[in-house]
Structure 1
Amino acid sequence: MDWNNVVQAILGVGSQVLIPILIIILGLIFGMKPSKAILSGLYLATGFIGMSMAINQLTTAVSPAAKALATHTSINLPAVDFGWPGAAAITWAWPMAFVFFAVEIIINLVMLLANLTKTLNADMWNVWGIALTAYMVYSISGSLPWAFVAAGIQIIISLKLGDMWAEEIKTDFGLVGVTTTHIEAFTATIMFPVNWVMNYIPVFNKKWDARDLKKKIGILSEPVVMGAIIGLILASAGRYSVGDALNLAVTVGAVMAIFPPMAKFFMDALTPFGTTMSNFMKKHVKGREFVIGLDWPILGQSTELWVTMVLMIPISIIYAAILPGNKVLPIAGVINYCIGVGGLLLTGGNLLRMIVLGIIYEPLFLYGATYFSGVFTKLATSTGAAKVPKGSEVTWSSIEAPDLRFLMAQAGRLNWLAIVGLIILLSLFVLLYQYMKKNPLPGKRYEKLEKKGANSEVSAK
């Protein structure tokens, strides 16, 4: 039996089928009634499919605007951005990719048994991201054993991310017993120092989430209105005609309004599942708490998430035009989930902080995409998964954890600066983990800072 073909056939159904099936199976194990387990799985599938349709519609609408903006700014960059779908396709074509299912499961089970994590990762479709890291490290360092070590480091980080965000996701999003283990959220690590500095700047400690903005600016804070305004800005930058500009405005506004209702299906699916799992653990595993790790779209109800990511589109295009040495124009990966998800969880939905952090850290992703363009091109051509014209390159403009992957790849070459950099980055992650475990609800923390600032102003008067 060709196990590679078997795995490819299973993966071919997509995350919208694979993950709900896993949730149904886990639900039955934890004692859910078959009818409720199946309903949870189907609602979860509905959430993933609905979110995917909305994201695809958003990408389809804004990509031409991004191209038009690039055309009018005379940007001509050689590396073609094929986004995460292209990256996933060529990674699954790598013959060794399916091995990392076993690596993921073994490390997760060992950590659970050793009480080193409370997260059981069910987001198995995204194992391709772990396999991609292994290929990148192997391609650059030439060391296959180190590639497996690097993959293991990413798995451990993902599980600890799940532990770190669980309380915030339960409190701020109403999702019990689940968390996100996606490596996209690792961006919070490099954002952490700047976000810490923001604690001492009064303007960043005010309430900047969508709910509070609604009290201040009324209708302008509605997702459909904010989306329409952003759409008009993108259309104007791309010099659209009036009709096309209005069309884009309406489309972006509609998609922004659709995200929260689509995200409700995640709550309908995961609330009964989380409650059942929690009751099971309290009964059979006393003193232990477990959460299920899932993909980032479970956070899709956040208006701040989408506002930040869409606002970053023209900013990323401008960066692409002006950054020296950059080779990629953001098109397929123009919506940077890493900045959105990492910023959302780190700041608790503080929109001003999220946008400023996005502006500061966007260049990292473009330079990461530029650096790894040769690796992506090599993988695409060697597997035959994508046709790359001679003299051209492919890459991913919003590549996940470019700092971590770069440092691990270079460390495998015994680059001492990279080894030191990797130690510093992992140490910073440990600091972030400890900080967030002590302060699991950043939104509440900023409320205290705001009150502190207000009291200081009163004292000064």
Structure 2
Amino acid sequence: MELLSTVVQSLLDLGAAIFVPIIIILAGLIVKMKLKDAISAGLTLGVAFTGMTMLINFMTGAITPAAEAMLKNVGISLPIIDGGWTTMSTISWSWPYAFLMFPLMILINIVMLVLKKTNTFNADLWNVWGKIFTAVGVVAITGSVPLAFLVAAIQIIFELKTADVHQKRIEELSGIPGVTCTHKMVLFGALMYPVDVLLRKIPVFNKKFDAAALKDKVGIFAENHVLGFILGIVFGLMAGYDVSKTLTLAIQCATALTLFPVITKYFMQALSPISEAVSDYMNKRFEGRTLLVGLDWPFLGGSNEIWLAVIWAVPVTLLCALFLPGNEILPFAGIINLALAVPAYLVTKGNLPRMLILCTLGVPAFLWVGTAFAPFITDLANATGAVALQAGEMISNSSIDAPVFTYAISQVFDIINGNWIPLVVLVVWGVCYVFYYRELKKENQQAEAETVQNNLGE
């Protein structure tokens, strides 16, 4: 058991930029890709992951000090430290049973593939910590390890089923066939969906309005580098920076927005041959069935709409932190909230005005859940020594992936303590999820019917 834990932890310690390409190379060889092609695809994917991580860190490093300055200008004081996702991952892996989640995730995926309950092969094994985080939340309430793994297994199934129905929409948006997103963050889209349905009924919001449409309307001012520069100027002024620091921030924002689409091209270059090889392999062995490759969100990172929504959400989050009743978390490490922007992008198909509205309405959920999770996250951090905290300090995350789902499914057993809120939230999320799932499934069926019709026409 200890040996398995050591092996699993050693693999995951490599990081996504190494671990995921290794999985992709092995998958490529299994589906009969040439060795040189599989290695090339894997290495290119590693380059893409590393490039995206560098850019996100660069952008976070530029914007976080500005956000901190904005809050200092108004004299805000909130007691809960925002440790970001990296701190949550470290704390999750400090759970003694964490290493068992890795084989459980693989086993469930294999069983569902064999039983034809999913078509997604989840190569995003590195993000297994998200399931561990949910399990830790269950243990904090119930003290039951078996129940924690049962709830985590349910989350794994939801992630695979959601990845299946998102694939056609993701292909339409990204241009990459045979690839989908298995990250938990997309589950937040269920709550965004009913609001988006209402917005679609308003004529002004029911028109195509992505970044390209914005460019057509305002010309050069919607070019990535110009738009990034303008946003940087705005942030600098809000932070009270002097001219030099404001211009530096503007150039940094311009650089980030200019390079994100460049990096995404490497995801396409890496994933296209893999998805084609997997598709050919499956078609030969399972007539009429196509296997999908499930990945983390970064292959969508070339979408300007995502980054515009991320930047928009920064001041919205700061304002909410100031005035939102019940919030006690100070948003810093999680201020670049991709777990908010990516689901909005998928739900709206990149409609920018609707994305900004959904992100604005979604911010409170992240702050409330971050506040609610702080006690048990702090207790675990102190018990394991994973994070050094001073006496009385509390830690959490202002951008927990799929916050409503994670809160509801991990805290639902708090009914034993008389707290019915998580159960009510879980029911509401479940109802929204059913309707969102139905729309995505119908969309997939229509796309498949059109493909069949086109093939017959040829």
- The interval holding the TM-score normalised by the smaller chain is over 0.9
Give 1:241's aligned residue.
Answer: 242
- Residue deviations 1:397-435 (CA, integer Å, cap 9, x gap): 011122122222332233555334423322321221111
Deviations 1:202-233 (A, max 9, x none): 11112210111111111111111111111111
> Does the C-alpha gap of structure 1 residues 397 and 421 become closer, same or farther in structure 2, counting only changes over 3 Å?
closer
**1:137–1:405 CA contact under 8 A, matched in 2:** no
Question: 1:100 maps to what in 2?
Answer: 101
Q: How does 1:135-146 map to 2 (within 5 A)?
A: 135-146=136-147
| Distance in 1 between residues matched to 2:324 and 2:422, nearest whole Å | 23
**TM-score, structure 2 length as denominator?**
0.94
Q: Alpha-carbon deviation of 1:440?
A: 4.9
Q: Residues 78-117 of structure 1: matches in 2 within 5 Å?
A: 78-117=79-118
Q: 1:421 to 1:117 in 2, by over 3 A?
A: same
- 2:84/2:399 contact within 8 Å kept: yes
- Confirm whether residue 390 of structure 1 aligns to residue 391 of structure 2: yes
Partner of 2:449: none
User: Using a 3 Å threshold, how does the CA distance of structure 1 residues 68 and 129 change in structure 2: closer, same or farther?
Assistant: same
Say whether the 8 Å CA contact 1:79–1:395 is kept in structure 2.
yes
Retained in 1: the 8 A contact 2:334–2:398? yes
Query: Do structure 1's residue 150 and structure 2's residue 154 form an aligned pair?
Result: no
Distance 2:173 2:338 in 1: 19
Q: Given the superposition, is the C-alpha separation of residues 441 and 378 from structure 1 closer, same or farther in structure 2, using an over 3 Å criterion?
A: farther
Give yes or no for contact 1:146–1:412 (8 Å, CA) kept in 2: no
**Contact 1:90-1:379 within 8 A present in 2 as well:** yes
Q: Using the alignment, how far apart are the partners of 1:369 and 1:151 within structure 2?
A: 19
- Which amino acid in the other structure matches residue 10 of structure 1? L
CA contact (8 A) 1:326 1:367 kept: yes
- Which secondary structure state, in structure 1, belongs to the residue aligned with residue 414 of structure 2? coil
- Counterpart CA distance in 2 for 1:98 and 1:11 is 10
Counterpart residue number, 2:455: none
Moved over 6 A (4+): none
Q: 1:419 pairs with 403, 423, 430, which one?
A: 423
Task: For residue 140 of structure 1, report the CA deviation from its aligned partner.
Answer: 2.2
Which 10-residue stretch deviates more, 249-258 or 153-162?
153-162
Partner Cα separation in structure 1 for residue 403 and residue 346 of structure 2: 19
Residue 435 of structure 2 corresponds to which residue in structure 1?
A: 431
Measure the CA separation in 1 of the matches of 2:122 and 2:69.
Answer: 41
Aligned to 1:287: 288
Counterpart Cα distance in 2 of 1:405 and 1:350: 26
CA contact (8 A) 2:8 2:102 kept: no
TM-score by length of 1: 0.93
Deviation at residue 385 of structure 1 after TM alignment:
1.1
Residue 400 (str. 1) matches residue 401 (str. 2): yes
Count of residues in correspondence between the two structures: 442
Q: Quote the Cα distance in structure 1 between the aligned partners of 2:122 and 2:251.
A: 38
Q: 2 CA distance for matches of 1:376 and 1:420?
A: 23
**Compared CA separation, residues 412 and 4, structure 1 to 2 (3 A):** same
Unaligned runs of 5+ in 1: 443-461
Does the CA contact (< 8 Å) of 1:348 and 1:441 recur in 2?
A: no
SS at structure 2 position matched to 1:80: strand
Using the alignment, how far apart are the partners of 1:366 and 1:233 within structure 2? 24
Deviation at 1:325, TM superposition (A): 2.1
Any conservation in 2 of the 1:143–1:412 contact (CA below 8 Å)? no
Deviations 1:247-288 (A, max 9, x none): 000001101111000010000001111111111111111121
Equivalent residue for 1:177?
Answer: 178
Question: What SS is found at the alignment partner of 2:138?
Answer: helix
Paired with 1:329 and 1:59, the residues of 2 have a C-alpha distance of 16
Equivalent position of 1:229 in the other structure: 230
Structure 2: distance between partners of 1:153 and 1:292: 20
Separation (CA, whole Å) in 2 of partners of 1:92 and 1:417: 28
Give 1:8-47 correspondences, 5 Å limit: 8-47=9-48
Is the 8 Å Cα contact of residues 123 and 295 (structure 1) preserved in structure 2? yes
Q: Deviations over 1:41-100 (max 9, x none)?
A: 011000000000000000000010010000001111111111011111111122211111
Match of 1:121 in 2: 122
1:331 and 1:187 mapped to 2: Cα distance?
A: 21
* 1:217–1:441 distance in 2 versus 1, CA, 3 Å: farther
- Give 3-state SS (helix, strand or coil) of 2:329's partner: coil
Q: Which runs of no fewer than 5 residues in structure 2 stay unpaired? A: 447-458
Alignment of 1:299-448 (within 5 A): 299-414=300-415, 415-416=419-420, 418-440=422-444
In the alignment, the residues of structure 2 paired with residue 250 and residue 169 of structure 1 have an alpha-carbon distance, to the nearest angstrom, of 31
Deviation at 1:107, TM superposition (A): 1.4
The residue that corresponds to 1:166 in the other structure is 167
- In 2: Cα distance, 1:231 partner to 1:441 partner: 43
- Give CA deviations for 1:364-393 in whole Å, capped at 9, x if unaligned: 100000000112111211111110111111
Mapped to 2, the partners of 1:102 and 1:172 lie a distance apart of 32
236-245 or 410-419: which moved more? Answer: 410-419
Bigger Cα displacement from structure 2, 399-408 vs 192-201: 399-408
Task: Check conservation: 2:187, 2:343, Cα contact below 8 A.
Answer: yes
The alignment-based identity, stated in percent, is 41
Residue 314 and residue 418 in structure 1: after superposition, are their counterparts in 2 closer, same or farther (change >3 A)? closer
- Give the equivalent residue in structure 2 for 1:446: none
The equivalent residue for 2:262 is 261
* 1:397 partner SS: coil
Asked if structure 2 preserves the Cα contact closer than 8 Å seen for 1:141 and 1:409, the reply is: no
| Letter aligned with residue 105 of structure 2 | E
Partner secondary structure for residue 189 of structure 2 = helix
- Structure 1 CA distance, aligned partners of 2:134 and 2:413? 12
Cα distance in 2 for partners of 1:198, 1:115 equals 36
CA RMSD of aligned residues (A): 1.5
Q: Distance in 2 between matches of 1:440 and 1:252?
A: 37
CA distance in structure 1 between the partners assigned to 2:290 and 2:445 by the alignment? 18
